[in-house]
Structure 1
């Protein structure tokens, strides 16, 4: 599934972007760098010297308009706001981040989202939360990998095809999502956390207002697995163990991030069915040059495994199921999914300009899922769907290492497209 924050994020004279901030790079390093904010300032205002740009306190508030179009959802416009605050000694405390965004389309689709990533003094506690309310639409290709959609070949923009495909079903629904997790540092770079999650789906329509379509993937899956076809609830408890030694959150040059999440969906909390999932994520970064730290080899693994019970259709993990919906460049969001899902990606990052304004990436990925399709079991690893591509990076805010990312990706079955986002994909 996807959020309506699809298509191009049109960056228009933003005051500065801070999605998460570590201690910034030394002034002697920043002085040699040029970011998009400086370029825009030189075009539309007084040109600042390198010294001015370093000594002036960077903005911690930003506003970004966005726009996109697709025949299924119409014209979409939205706005995103981000604020950064420090709740402790700024020398030892990571900046906390508050994000809000809202989107509205001409076909009545909408979304509101608010996120918090709060750090207490000396990063002893980390509180991460998310609230989403909206009405959206998803392209539905069914479950499992190794399944071709006839007529699928076509170009997509930021995970959403530019034209409708009669062989692919659309799935509209309303939703309310809430999650909150609290982490505590228990050792250097190691945190333990717990939390709750509530996901409610209503008004599921995979019949196009034409009556019940028994061929629809959500309908057939829900009937076979004992879920209501028009809406369901998936609420549960979370236990997390996280390791983070990255030198920066937005654009790491070195270090590692690992997260293990045990989720139990409980009927006493309102879930239609009980289930236990294990979700794992590993990101590793190797610096390839001591002279130029922008040469980086990065690796990403993301996996979700159903240990017992059952999941409703819209909760199945798959392409774009990571927190920022950017997993699986080369394919539309939701292209592959299943009760078990695994994804891996490698990326080489390198500078293109001496002032660090432009840099590039080359990436390759693969994803696989397990599912029951046409009464036959598709096992994890039985079919692997590869992808790959190249990308351009524009340094947007050197104080926070924030990048504007523009990628061209390709996949199997003729899948290809352009993917745009803020900050590195992983």
Structure 2
């Protein structure tokens, strides 16, 4: 394990050095840093075709293209910046990741549209539901599936391979001249071709996984399922910039209903609540700040399939839980919080900055009587910020994070984590 960490850490350092060299070379050629920026001034659009060369615990090393764009759909003095992020990525874990995520404001912020489209051919290690030492107790110690008949214990990750389609669209109308937005949305999640690699029902001592036990207990298929629903949403957004805020706050609540008549395998409801805040520490350097992010998600009625349960790293932009694999912590209820200290590294200019962050996650496991906040698991890390578009305050982000249970990861991205 130590040797593997040294190899991965050396690779991360090589990639980090390549990024810095790329940045230095691009700086000599003008305002564009690290990437080639194409700006159509008459349309007020900034397009950044960011190459992806990075690593994280879920995907291994990632290679591809992650284009980002920002634009204004009206007068910038009265209209918030719109943003879009995409990705076409292949990983050393043989995963294909296609995404398109948007946050669009129409003229004078009359409407706000949130979009999240994904197509994955992917895999994900699974550790059962909940946080803390008892979260995986059903499979860790084996499971009594009949009187005095026990399954084989599982120690460590349970690998799941699957295809995933997500189509989420939310439209919210601004209420008068306030920063309150109210709206509705449609959400579709389809998991198919699920392969539960450790599941073995034929052996003398069967191997029963968390995915299998949960889905069979709640009447879901173990090879694929669909959740389709509509939602009611409300948000409050006073941030000065949606991709890299220096001030303001953001609150969002979404209540999702997944009826069978709309295509869900079973009827259910879910609640998502989120809050972000930004506190300046130096009035002369607004980039010197503390940033806070927290959200909670819960199954409020009915049952949802295993891979649709609230899970770390499955927020809209997939940025929660630095240090951990996607889905490392999941459950019927999940709470997440993060604090990040952001500081400029230059006395006057804002090209380079740094961050230090810590995050915390708690998840429930109702089948095992593990409640929210019974256990909290922590992650922390540091990062470098390189401003590649000063007008839009667009940052290239490079982070390294550590967590419990040997978790760690290197992250390269565009725009702040939150």
Q: TM-score by structure 1 length?
A: 0.79
Answering whether residue 197 of structure 2 is matched by residue 207 of structure 1, we say: yes
Q: Which residue does the alignment assign to 1:112?
A: 98
Q: Which residue does the alignment assign to 1:357?
A: 351
Deviation at residue 275 of structure 1 after TM alignment: 1.2
Deviation at residue 106 of structure 1 after TM alignment: 6.7
Q: Which residue does the alignment assign to 1:124?
A: 110
Q: Is the 8 A contact 2:397 2:416 kept in 1?
A: yes
Question: Compared with structure 1, are the counterparts of its residues 40 and 211 closer, same or farther at alpha carbon in structure 2 (3 Å cutoff)?
Answer: farther
Aligned residues: 378
Answering whether residue 166 of structure 2 is matched by residue 196 of structure 1, we say: no
Deviation at residue 251 of structure 1 after TM alignment: 1.6
Question: Compared with structure 1, are the counterparts of its residues 418 and 261 closer, same or farther at alpha carbon in structure 2 (3 Å cutoff)?
Answer: same
* Partner secondary structure for residue 216 of structure 2: helix
Could you give the per-residue CA deviations for residues 109-146 of structure 1, whole angstroms, max 9, x where no partner exists? Answer: 32322233332221101122222223111111111101
**How far apart, CA to CA, are the structure 1 residues paired with 2:93 and 2:336?**
33
* Partner secondary structure for residue 122 of structure 1: helix
Q: Which residue does the alignment assign to 1:158?
A: none
Listed as ranges, the gaps of 5+ residues in structure 2 are: 1-10, 138-153
Q: Which residue does the alignment assign to 2:7?
A: none
Q: Is the 8 A contact 1:12 1:65 kept in 2?
A: no
Could you give the per-residue CA deviations for residues 77-124 of structure 1, whole angstroms, max 9, x where no partner exists? Answer: 322223444433444223433443222357753232223333222110
352-361 or 405-414, larger mean C-alpha shift:
405-414
Q: Is the 8 A contact 1:64 1:79 kept in 2?
A: yes
> Within 5 A, what are the aligned runs for 1:132-151?
132-147=118-133
Q: 2:159 aligns with which of 170, 181, 199?
A: 170
Q: Is the 8 A contact 2:111 2:174 kept in 1?
A: yes
Quick one: higher RCO (CA 8 Å, sep 6+), 1 or 2?
1
Answering whether residue 375 of structure 2 is matched by residue 383 of structure 1, we say: yes
**How far apart, CA to CA, are the structure 2 residues paired with 1:191 and 1:311?**
28
> Within 5 A, what are the aligned runs for 1:10-409?
39-43=24-28, 45=29, 57=41, 60-67=46-53, 76-105=62-91, 109-147=95-133, 167-187=156-176, 188-207=178-197, 214-354=207-347, 355-372=349-366, 376-409=368-401
**How far apart, CA to CA, are the structure 2 residues paired with 1:402 and 1:337?**
31
Q: Is the 8 A contact 1:11 1:66 kept in 2?
A: no
* Partner secondary structure for residue 394 of structure 1: strand
**How far apart, CA to CA, are the structure 2 residues paired with 1:130 and 1:419?**
21
Q: Which residue does the alignment assign to 2:149?
A: none
Question: Compared with structure 1, are the counterparts of its residues 70 and 323 closer, same or farther at alpha carbon in structure 2 (3 Å cutoff)?
Answer: closer
Q: Which residue does the alignment assign to 1:410?
A: 402
Q: Is the 8 A contact 2:313 2:326 kept in 1?
A: yes
Q: Is the 8 A contact 1:364 1:386 kept in 2?
A: yes
Q: TM-score by structure 2 length?
A: 0.80
226-235 or 360-369, larger mean C-alpha shift:
360-369
Deviation at residue 199 of structure 1 after TM alignment: 0.6
Q: Is the 8 A contact 1:11 1:64 kept in 2?
A: no
> Where has structure 1 moved over 4 Å in runs of 4 or more?
10-14, 35-39, 55-59, 68-76, 105-108, 208-214
Deviation at residue 327 of structure 1 after TM alignment: 1.1
Q: Is the 8 A contact 1:37 1:396 kept in 2?
A: no
**How far apart, CA to CA, are the structure 2 residues paired with 1:323 and 1:134?**
15
**How far apart, CA to CA, are the structure 2 residues paired with 1:298 and 1:72?**
25
* Partner secondary structure for residue 195 of structure 1: strand
Q: Is the 8 A contact 1:36 1:395 kept in 2?
A: no
**How far apart, CA to CA, are the structure 1 residues paired with 2:58 and 2:106?**
43
**How far apart, CA to CA, are the structure 2 residues paired with 1:79 and 1:382?**
40
* Partner secondary structure for residue 223 of structure 1: helix
